[in-house]
Amino acid sequence: MLSNPFAALSASVSPAIMQTYVVVMALLVVAGTLFDIIHKQSATYFFNNWRDFKDKAKRQVGGGEMASLAVRTAVVDVMASGEFCNMRRRIAHLLTMYGFVIYVVTTIMMVFAYPTAAAPAGVAALWYIGSLMVCAGGYWFWFFIRVDVAAEGYSPFRFVRADLFIVSLVLSVTFALVWAAVQATGNATWSYIFLGLYLLATTVLFGSIPWSKFSHMFFKPAAALEKRVAEANGTMSNLPPPANAPRKFGGGLKHARHY
Amino acid sequence: MPTFVYMTRCDGCGHCVDICPSDIMHIDTTYRRALNIEPNMCWECYSCVKACPQFAIDCRGYADFAPLGHSVRVRREEDKATISWKIKFRDGREKNFVSPIRTTPWGSIKSPADYAPPSAEAMKSQELAHEPEALKVAALPTVSRDRFKQGAI
């Protein structure tokens, strides 16, 4: 059951076509993100902001300190999704993020290194595990954590443009799993149907980058670094500094409870 | 003028949506970030500004008391029970304030639902709920009829 689904597919679709498709998807990521940056002028805004608070800095941040801030951003804010204050949102995001990374890396490995042969057992298993992690985090977010549903009371089946990324991601991975399972049973018709749905959802996921929040995976780390540098150089986005006399006021909660 | 959201800092958590008393903070349908959908109905209560865990909401005050170049920013630290304000005047002066959020422990005040409902006599009484105990007096002060004579008080 946990075998390389792309090896079985290579009997009817040549590995060159599969590899070309993966390369096209990668190019769509690059092109879509660049278009997003240029169209929304987000890079212009980011660098203007950076220059603005450098000018207003109360202390200069040296190269070594900047490197340390970059490492802390990478480890805490990116790898541990540390910016989330709500634990459920954080766990759902971690599941989806690492699941997607594992799924993409193992897909690339199987399509390029093992397109016709059985992949090492661990690689194929990781593909399934990554897909299941994306489904677990994605569906949990979609049905229970999404603010539209949890705070605004909308139906979970209300779709808006903001849902383009999460819907296409979760559907792509779900159809991938269903296609792999159906293909393993030997049912060729349904296997091709689910393969078609898988390809459609994946193309929408990577092709809709200028209109979805896909690129947040590149922007948010930059914004997180900017926030840390602003705290370090004293500008703190005009915010007051953290209170340094907590004992005077007592009665505070040990852990912040955000509703 | 109303509150606005720095969408690069907002992560769409919805705390501002929950807390806005005017029900005008909602989630944008394009970016899944918070958005003030009815700026002219915002009364600048700063509930959303204080509630945002990412400090992603700011407020543009009306120009008659908050001219261009001003800044009013708040940091609410629930774990320290403090709320800090930084006011920047347009001439460059800055004032910082730190206050307690409350001086009694969380959960120490009974909610209305924890009290027994009032009896029929209490509903007919002139006294308001929890009077006179809540005022820390034995009885409400009264004035006798003869004290109403002109010049008596």
pLDDT tens-digit profile of A203-249? 999 999 888 888 888 888 888 898 898 888 888 778 998 888 655 55
Element (H or E) spanning B58, and its range? strand B57-59
pLDDT tens for B113-150 read 888 898 999 999 888 988 898 899 998 888 877 777 76
Is residue B82 in a domain? yes
Distance from CA of A243 to the nearest CA of B (A): 7
Is residue B150 in a domain? no
- A246 and B80 in contact by Cβ < 8 A? yes
State whether B8 and B71 are in the same domain: yes
pLDDT confidence bin for A256, thresholds 50/70/90? very low
The Cα A33–Cα A39 span in angstroms is 10
pLDDT confidence bin for A96, thresholds 50/70/90? very high
* Collapsed DSSP state (helix, strand, coil) of residue B86: strand
Question: Which chain A residues are Cβ-neighbours of B48 within 8 angstroms?
Answer: none
Is residue A243 in a domain? no
Provide the residue range defining the domain that includes B18.
3-100
Tell me which residue in B19, B30, B78 faces A253 most closely, judged by beta carbons. B78
Counting one residue from A and one from B, how many pairs have CB atoms under 8 Å apart?
A: 129
Provide the residue range defining the domain that includes A77.
5-236
Interface ipTM: 0.78
- A152 and B27 in contact by Cβ < 8 A? yes
pLDDT tens for A156-206 read 899 999 899 999 999 999 999 999 999 999 888 999 999 999 999 999 999
pLDDT confidence bin for A259, thresholds 50/70/90? very low
Is residue A248 in a domain? no
State whether B83 and B33 are in the same domain: yes
Amino acid at B79: D
Q: How many CB atoms lie within 10 A of CB A204?
A: 17
CATH code where residue B18 lies:
3.30.70.20
State whether B117 and B69 are in the same domain: no
Is residue A143 in a domain? yes
- Chain A CB within 8 Å of residue B121 CB: no
Best B5, B6, B7, B13 member to test A by mutation, with max A CBs in 10 Å, is B13
How many structural domains comprise chain A?
1
Of A79, A89, A76, residue with least CA distance to A231: A76
**Mean pLDDT score, A133-158:** 89
Is residue B105 in a domain? no
Is residue B151 in a domain? no
Best B19, B57, B82 member to test A by mutation, with max A CBs in 10 Å, is B82
The Cα B41–Cα B26 span in angstroms is 13
How many structural domains comprise chain B?
2
Interface of B with A in 59-118 (CB under 8 A): 71, 73-75, 77-82, 84-86, 88, 96-98, 100-106, 108
Instruction: State CA A77 to chain mean position distance.
Output: 13
* Collapsed DSSP state (helix, strand, coil) of residue A235: coil
State whether B17 and B91 are in the same domain: yes
Is residue B37 in a domain? yes
Helices (H), chain A: 5-9, 15-40, 42-55, 63-72, 87-112, 121-140, 147-150, 164-185, 188-207, 216-232, 246-249
**Mean pLDDT score, B43-57:** 93
Distance from CA of B78 to the nearest CA of A (A): 6
Distance from CA of A197 to the nearest CA of B (A): 25
Is residue B126 in a domain? yes
